[in-house]
Amino acid sequence: MDMFEHEFEKEKLKEAPLAARMRPKTLDEFVGQEHIVGKGRVLRLAIESGNLPSIMLWGPPGSGKTTLANIIANTTSSHFSPLSAVSAGVADLRKTIEEAKERRLLNRRKTILFIDEIHRFNKAQQDAILPFVEDGTVTLIGATTENPSFEVISPLLSRSQLFVLKPLTKEEIRIIIIRAIKDTLRGLGAYKVEITDDALDYLITMSSNDARTALNTLETATLTTSPDADGRRRIVLATVEDTIQHRAISYDKGGDKHFDTISALHKSMRGSDPDASLYWLGRMIEAGDDPLYIARRLVRFATEDVGMADPQALVVAMAAQQAVHFLGLPEGNLALAEAAIYLSTAPKSNSLYTAYSAVQEEIRKGSNDPVPLHLRNAVTPMMKNIGYGKGYKYAHDYEGHYVEQQNLPDSVKDKKFYTPGDQGNEQKVAERLKKWRPENKDKTE
């Protein structure tokens, strides 16, 4: 880069959004992703040694993929050639590759080919990159928000090392915001910004773990806030609400309101009220509660309050958890809503909860008898000689694939822990057990 280009880049940076201006230049400035770029971690060691292979960075928006690619180029003194798979085509790739070849011949300088949203490239476009990754013309850094196992061709993936970036934590977003407020060169330090605790908390929550969103919202709030008599710009909750165009809900995610609301959701689903369930779910989501926490509570409800009355409830709840983990918010909202309505309208039974509680109580009382010999596997001749497996009845050899035999230790052999309810699937379960259980069998004979 010559002097003219350098000055042009400086001027362009001044006019860039806050998120671009605050982009870290070094690994020490980089916030988050300690599991891959922390001291002694493999990616950091590879970057600092200059022996970086082609890599794939998979992570949610705003987690630092582009920033990390820039830092890698700076640290390894490589030329940074960014392309966006949204707008670039094969012609752009060929041009970038030719420039990389010339650079390599003229001054032996390496080229980092950074392809953002690489999952948007089709197979032919990805194939076009492959030979130049193999011969070292470029070091590829692919960034994607989608699972590369499904979106990146196998030959390209096998020649790259995959690193998974985690969503930034709220504390990491807080660090980034405070740093931008204090920075007088690249940040908002010259504006003498002050932000109230509730406004800061709300900004962090509404950023949805995206540093870019947090910083650009902060900049807009700052520029639309007039300085007071002493030149300070005081950002309050109403300012952030207005900037985001979303009113903060009165809700304490760590206090009574949080637990009161989850209790209301749980009891509304138990009461088979889909409208109230959806309402309380919405209150939690819109207040910025952790969607995975909500998903965990739905999974718990599926086993505790629906249970065997509809075993599919657990499948639906787990699918909602996976959808939220995969999509994030706001796309994952409907998966949670679908699960809440399904659970609300499903037949209810706490027989599973009652049965396992009874087992726990029995074990706490000291029930620890050995496994009956006929249920043990005789894996050696000696075990067989002392009676392991002797007298065991293989259920599939009998009519209806059922045979009566003792499967509990002697001390609890007559215990009945599970009693099915009379709702949904458990009606069928009850009919089967009525035929199988000895006490019922005696009454019908």
The CATH number of the domain holding residue 127 is: 3.40.50.300
- Is residue 72 in some structural domain? yes
Domain endpoint, select from 107, 131, 164? 164
Give the model's pLDDT for residue 14: 63
- Is residue 107 in some structural domain? yes
Residues 111 and 94 in one domain: yes
- Is residue 133 in some structural domain? yes
- Is residue 25 in some structural domain? no
Residues 181 and 133 in one domain: no
Give the model's pLDDT for residue 254: 52
Residues 279 and 222 in one domain: no
CA distance 89 to 138: 17
Find where tokens 């999509």 sit.
327
Residues 329 and 288 in one domain: yes
Instruction: Of 159, 119, 143, give the one whose Cα is nearest residue 58.
Output: 143
Give the model's pLDDT for residue 174: 94
Amino acid at the residue 408: L
Residues 106 and 160 in one domain: yes
Residues 240 and 260 in one domain: no
Give the model's pLDDT for residue 433: 79
Domain endpoint, select from 141, 164, 187? 164
Domain endpoint, select from 310, 345, 380? 345
Residues 175 and 155 in one domain: no
- Is residue 193 in some structural domain? yes
The CATH number of the domain holding residue 314 is: 1.20.272.10
Residues 47 and 88 in one domain: yes
Give the model's pLDDT for residue 18: 92
The CATH number of the domain holding residue 212 is: 1.10.8.60
Residues 298 and 339 in one domain: yes
Domain that holds residue 260: 256-345
Residues 178 and 92 in one domain: no
Give the model's pLDDT for residue 444: 42
The CATH number of the domain holding residue 426 is: 1.10.3710
- Is residue 314 in some structural domain? yes
pLDDT tens digits, residue range 47-82? 988 888 999 999 888 889 999 999 999 898 889 999
- Is residue 18 in some structural domain? no
- Is residue 423 in some structural domain? yes
Total of domains in the chain: 4
Give the model's pLDDT for residue 327: 82
Taking 70 as the pLDDT cut, the residues of the chain under it are: 1-14, 246-257, 438-445
